Amino acid sequence: MKKWLMVLCLLPALAGAQAPAPYAKRWPLVLSAEQAGAYRVVLDREIYTTTAWPDLRDIDVLDAHGKPVAAALFGPEQPTALPARRIVVPWFPLPTQQPDAAGPSRVSAQFGENGRIVRIEADGGSAGASGPARAFLVDLSRIRDNAEALEFTWDTGTPRESRYRVDGSLDLEHWEVVQDRVTLVELQRGSQRLLRDEAPIRGGLRYIRFVPLDASPALPIREVRVRLDAVHQRQEVQWSELQGRRISAQGVDSYTYESDGRYPVALADLAMDDYAVGEWTLESRDSTDAPWRLRAGPWVAYRVAGEQASASPAQPLSSGPARDRYWRLSNRGALPDQAPTLRLGYRPEVVVFLAQGTPPYALVAGSASARRAAVPMPALVDALRRDRGEEWQPAPAYLSASAVLAGDAALVAPPTPRDWKTWLLWGLLIAGAALVAAFAFSLLRSRPPA
């Protein structure tokens, strides 16, 4: 009897020890810089088609042990989610070139993950082993955004003027000249100071090499930063194109469309190959039994060919961004024979997360039971900005190829959990009644005969 009572008492504890919520997919994250404190990752189309909830509650960031870190979802224009313009990148000294050599010695490197340089060697020896190195190499292998310049911080106080040739490479084997001559200068006369501490480069290169063109001493570099192109960092509008089918309801003909993802749709446009003209109205709903809601229109859509082609502009949704599954397009006049392609425009959102736990990190999505914890991310980012400077922003993190975890099984809602408290109460009552009955029966058996 005592054993059964102990089992009943342990049932609530066993029920509370549930396995972590399953996810459909995971995306390993590549960090653009180490020890940045916080990072931002831009959602892509596959994530929007994987999430199971309109509010994207199941999108989260996990550390190497599968534990969630502090993360929050933001629109691309919110201050907390704005991209960083400057990122600290690693640099390596190169061995001093031979007097009769046209450039630095042949470089070999030991690589880590995603092409990151761990160690530089040249001519069989370690770079920088013999005195200060005048040539140096900058590793941009973690940067996927377009770079426009490298900025340097060095020990100040000594006048200097150093000239370099700047080379670029994708593999450390094949090099091309990026800048024939770049001059880094620090001069001071009284209270006047002349400083040029940056070198223009172009995007798409993984490694940048600086080859000295004069006999100036080695540059006492303390930090190298890459400055990203602000124009290319803007979140461009992405378009999801839907094919419709004609339906008739209550004597009214229209075209209906089904979206494949939870995009934050803010614009609508039509692609009409036959250059038809019509006055259209766009509605949407999130389930087949919900009422339709007006999203845009009526507006006149047209596309005119000719020497100077023209077309109607995309229409902003009057209700703000919508993530509905079902869309309906109706026309005040007769519908054309060909269903127009409905183009839904959106700007991808951003997940900002803190570098907690153990890296590497991964983004996960697609779960019927998981829910991202609410955190005061703007306050956390502001606290980091006070420590790191007013211009600091979360550094970029980039999505790698996705991997399937639980797949579609994670999108199935789990069964309703049992009310173990009620079962425990009934079990205790039944056990108590059984004990009383057993006690009464024992008394009756031990009663002396009359």
Going along the chain from its start, the domains and CATH numbers come out as: 86-233 (2.60.120), 238-346 (2.60.120.260)
**In the prediction, which pLDDT does 126 show?**
45
Query: What is the per-residue DSSP string for 172-232?
Result: SSSEEEEEEEEEEEEEEETTEEEEE-EEE--TT-SEEEEEE-S-PPPP-EEEEEEEEPHHH
**In the prediction, which pLDDT does 362 show?**
96
Q: Of 99, 215, 202, 193, which Cα lies nearest the Cα of 149?
A: 202
**In the prediction, which pLDDT does 414 show?**
66
**In the prediction, which pLDDT does 80 show?**
86
Q: Are 91 and 137 in contact (CB under 8 A)?
A: yes
**In the prediction, which pLDDT does 268 show?**
94
Q: Which helix (H) or strand (E) holds 422?
A: helix 420-445
Q: Are 123 and 165 in contact (CB under 8 A)?
A: no
* CA-angle at 53, arms to 52 and 54, nearest 5°: 135
pLDDT averaged per 10 residues in sequence order, the chain, 450 residues: 44 46 92 90 96 94 95 90 89 70 57 64 49 83 91 88 94 92 90 90 92 91 90 80 88 90 94 69 93 91 73 87 94 83 94 93 94 92 86 91 91 66 72 74 65
The answer to whether the predicted template modeling score (pTM) of the entire model surpasses 0.85 is no
